[in-house]
Amino acid sequence: MPELPEVETVRRGLAPSMEGQKIVHAAVNRPDLRWPFPENFVQRLTGRTVLRLRRRSKYILADLDNGESLLIHLGMSGRMTVSGDPLGQFVHDHPPQEKHDHVILDMENGARITFNDPRRFGAMDLVPTDQADQHPLLAKLGPEPLGNTFNEEYLVTALKGRNTPIKAALLDQSIVAGLGNIYVCEALFRAHIAPTRKAGRISAKRVAALVPVIRQVLQDAIAAGGSSLRDFRQTDGELGYFQHNFDVYDREGEPCKTPGCTGTIRRIVQSGRSTYYCPKCQR
């Protein structure tokens, strides 16, 4: 599933073609994705201007000029592509429609936004903009890891006394929003913290040091266009490149990249998910 860097990459790719532009035509090619589309979905989108695109955790929100917001979740295999952009950022014309092109938005500037989702684990909804934070998918989310409310004092307090492994704690979306398996593994490696350590038993100093590390990992991944392991594509159809910079993720059996460390990357399973780490320099 796309994590924060992938979703932010998509948001940035869509913004030049959608922000300030009217949706002149909307088409939906099936009644549902993961859930049914909202009532009168096409009619409520057609003719609306997109005021801005923003991201909350792993969700994109397109704020419309009628006081509603289009909530988008990419799911496991969803991708959004742009074609026919008159700004010249995308060289291909509108491609022929594909089997899994479920939602198509034609913008006033000639751009076409296509949502393709073979597995249909993605979702779209329309919510009142001023109540978006109360939507069931967003209401219990913790602070954004790149925002000001995610700071050293907050994380120390949030993890205090917790008996869960630090890996599981950082994946808890109520503690910090948007982090997923890949970037938690990478952040814990850079911080030299073992993923199996109990969150509440890590010193406040080490927990505080995690905050800038998490931010840097995410910023590095966004700069690389995210990570493409299976389905993820940027809005121009290109792959992300951060997977080429993984320190531990998907590197089982390979040597640790920490200078002077002679350890080998190990894979274990935590809560049904693969965890990659160096048992020698992560403690």
Q: Is 273 a catalytic residue?
A: yes
Q: Which amino acid, 213?
A: V
CA distance 259 to 38: 53
Given 22, 54, 206, 273, which residue is catalytic?
Answer: 273
Given 44, 56, 58, 233, which residue is catalytic?
Answer: 58
Long-range pairs of 222-226 with CB within 8 A, sequence gap ≥ 24: 222/5, 222/8, 222/9, 224/5, 225/9, 226/2, 226/3, 226/5, 226/6, 226/8, 226/9
| CA dihedral (246, 164, 121, 37) positive or negative | negative
Using CB atoms within 10 Å of the CB of residue 241, give its burial: 0 to 12 exposed, 13 to 18 middle, 19+ buried: middle
Given 3, 6, 8, 68, which residue is catalytic?
Answer: 3
Q: Is 58 a catalytic residue?
A: yes
Q: Is 251 a catalytic residue?
A: no
Q: Is 3 a catalytic residue?
A: yes
Catalytic residues: 2-3, 58, 273
